[in-house]
Amino acid sequence: MQLLALALYHRDGRPTPRVVRFRPGALNILTGESETGKSEVLDIVDYCLGRSTPNLPDEPIDQTVGWYALLVTFRDDSRMLLARPRPTGASTTHAMIRTGDETLDLPRADELKQNSNVAALRSELSARLGIEDFRFQPPTGAARASFDVSIAQAALLCFQNQNEIADKKALFHRQTENGIAQAIKDTLPYFLGAAGPEQALRRYHLGEAQRAQRAAQRKLDDARRHQASVDASGLALLRLAQSEGLLDEVPAAPSAEQIRALLEHALTVTAMTVGPADLRDRRQALSEERRAFREQLQDLDEALAVVERWKQQGKAFTGELHLQLGRLKSLHLLGPERDADTSICPMCTRPLEEPDPTAADITLLTERLTDELEQAQTLQPVRDEHRRALQSEREAVVERLRVNGAQLRELAASDERMRDLQEQHLRIARVQGRIDQALTAGTGSSAGDIGRLHNDLTLAQENVETLQALIDEDDVTAETERRLTDIAANMTRWAKRLNLGQAAAADEVAISLSQLNVVLRRPLGRLPLNRIGSAKNWIGYHLVAHLALHTYFRLHNRPVPGFLMLDQPTQAFFPEKIRDATTVQDADWATVTAYFALLRDVADLNEGALQIIVCDHANLTDEEWFQDALVENWRPVDGNRQALIPTDWLD
């Protein structure tokens, strides 16, 4: 896969996009002044290839651009359009995909529509590149998670921004970000051809087999511990059952089968009768009799209370009658007044509305009250007799309760043995309950079950050993090192060509997979890049490493994009805040020219299979081949500023 064109579409929907076109299979140089957008080209291409967390600057790109589009081509001349809308937050997954033949080109602004997402874009790109569909499985016990191998990892080998290309501690794109270095270590053997889906599948199966082995070991250990616990607790239960009389004799060291048989026998023993039946019946009879006496006593108390209330009410009634009769006796003192007219007021002689009762009426009432008083006085002796009968009956019941209580206390005093038997019965019941629980819990932990679990563990161990042997035969590490050694041949030759520091004395310049950096192998020992001074050397070793790596990819048709993007590879030769490198007269232009000449020669060496895109300040105006490689020159023309974002977009 190589790049044909990069397009930026204005947010206001202008029909004409800003397009940067590239030549496949050749060196492409994009040069210009500072702050013209050269470094952003790499970030935009990375974003179009499916990066979900863009690293695009806010001004002026993000403020003017609404869509980014990348047109790519493949070895079979098919093309693919990868478009992404302007991200609206820290991450985005929206995308647009088009596929076609060599006639496919950039779309119009009104044709940009979201029809896919990042996952589908990466999947399609991975398939077109030939990346096999498999999931990388980390080694057993590794803390990191598995992941699908895709363009996401392959693209890390295709970019070097201006900070990365001069980094003495890291060699690859985004290597210092969390998890990226490990992802490169995990997938570089695959992209080199030292490992494939078969090894990943075997490693996955090995991990599953090792988990199964650990599970089988845990089950066997648990069963053995459980069986030992059951045997110990079973022997203790046997001793306890023997002490309670459930078993006659228990061997000193019984086997597991004997323990289980004796415990099962202890469950069948019926507890002895707990005390004489007559004592139990007598206690029950006395208790029922006591309840009856208490109920009878309560009834008698209630009856006596009623009689007492009657007595008090009778006394009040007869007392009132005596009082009223005493008052009415004065009627006997009347003479002729008895026959007076009671309908006329004796004071004013006027008729009364309600006539007063006559003396005869009052005399009649007095006689009736006298009769009632005599009747009430005749009832009082009857009531007194009834109360005395109730009190006598109550005293008899109280005496019976006293006798009953004495009998119960006497029965309780002679019932000590009965309580002892009851306690023994409860102890026996508890022991048998524990035996039943132990036998139930012990199910599944027999010798036969332990034997089966041991066989399962043996099979799991044999499976692990078989898979481990297959993985050891693959020896991915050794194969990766062999291929890195092949790559080191070009790295060593090109490092000496550029006269990089310590290269002349080195036997080999190579990539260390463990360090993910360049190392020099010398007679005095290995020398890592971070121990070599000068940004010129750091950049130079980055160049030779990535050029040799991609040359190997192209030679062996590996599923890695066929382009390498480099940002500011000559930054070490110019002032830190340079505006235009062409204005610097005292720079080491010979070395700058040598760097670009190496890029040109490596592109030619790969015969169209490798595309190199360089964004840089330098412009070698005296070198015809350099001018032929220019795709954009962002320097003022007739006073008009040239940059990634057109001037009229900023108005």
Concatenated DSSP letters for 403-454?
HHHHHHHHHHHT-HHHHHHHHHHHHHHHHHHHHHHHHHHTTT-SHHHHHHHH
Cβ–Cβ under 8 Å, residues 275 and 355: no
Indicate the helix (H) or strand (E) that contains 9: strand 2-10
Tell which wins on pLDDT, 594 or 406: 594
Q: Which of 18-27, 368-377, 522-531, 565-574 has the highest mean pLDDT?
A: 18-27
Mean pLDDT is lowest, of 17-31, 245-259, 285-299, 586-600, for 245-259
What is the mean pLDDT of the segment spanning 513-519? 96
List pLDDT tens digits, range 307-362. 777 667 666 666 666 666 666 665 555 555 556 666 677 677 677 777 766 666 66
Buried b (16+ CB within 10 A) or exposed e, 427-453: ebeebbebbeebbeebeebbeebbeeb
> 572: closest CA among 613, 618, 527, 621?
618
SS (H, E, C) 496-511: HHCCCCCCCCCCEEEE
SS3 76: coil
**122: Cβ contacts below 8 Å, ≥ 6 apart:** 49, 50, 150, 151, 152
Average pLDDT of the residues of the chain: 84
Encoded tokens for 193 = 């051809």
User: Edge-to-edge, what's the strand order for the sheet holding 79-85?
Assistant: 18-21, 2-10, 65-73, 79-85, 94-100, 116-117
130: left (phi over 0), alpha (psi -120 to 50) or beta: left
Would the pLDDT of 113 be above 70?
yes
Mean pLDDT is lowest, of 53-62, 309-318, 384-393, 630-639, for 309-318
SS3 241: helix
Q: Give the DSSP letter of residue 583.
A: G
Residue 450: band (very low, low, confident or very high) from pLDDT cuts 50, 70, 90: confident
Q: Which of 54-68, 391-405, 615-629 has the highest mean pLDDT?
A: 615-629
Cβ–Cβ under 8 Å, residues 114 and 96: yes
SS (H, E, C) 85-104: ECCCCCCCCEEEEEEECCCC
Phi, psi dihedral angles at 7 (to 5 degrees)? -125, 140
Cβ–Cβ under 8 Å, residues 228 and 222: no
State the Cα–Cα distance between residues 643 and 60, nearest whole angstrom: 11
Would the pLDDT of 273 be above 50?
no
Phi, psi dihedral angles at 97 (to 5 degrees)? -130, 135
Would the pLDDT of 284 be above 90?
no
Q: What is the pLDDT of residue 10?
A: 95
Strand intervals (E) in 74-157: 79-85, 94-100, 116-117, 135-136, 147-148
What is the mean pLDDT of the segment spanning 435-458? 73
Residue 559: band (very low, low, confident or very high) from pLDDT cuts 50, 70, 90: very high
Would the pLDDT of 521 be above 70?
yes
Encoded tokens for 490 = 């070009």
Number of other CB atoms surrounding residue 11 within 10 Å: 13
State the Cα–Cα distance between residues 392 and 385, nearest whole angstrom: 11
Q: Are strands 563-567 and 611-616 parallel, antiparallel or unpaired?
A: parallel
> 230: closest CA among 260, 250, 261?
260
Encoded tokens for 340 = 């007076």
Would the pLDDT of 173 be above 80?
yes
Let me know the angle formed at the C-alpha of 109 by 105 and 113, rounded to the nearest 5 degrees. Answer: 90
CA atoms within 13 A on the CB side of 531: 9
What is the mean pLDDT of the segment spanning 65-79? 95
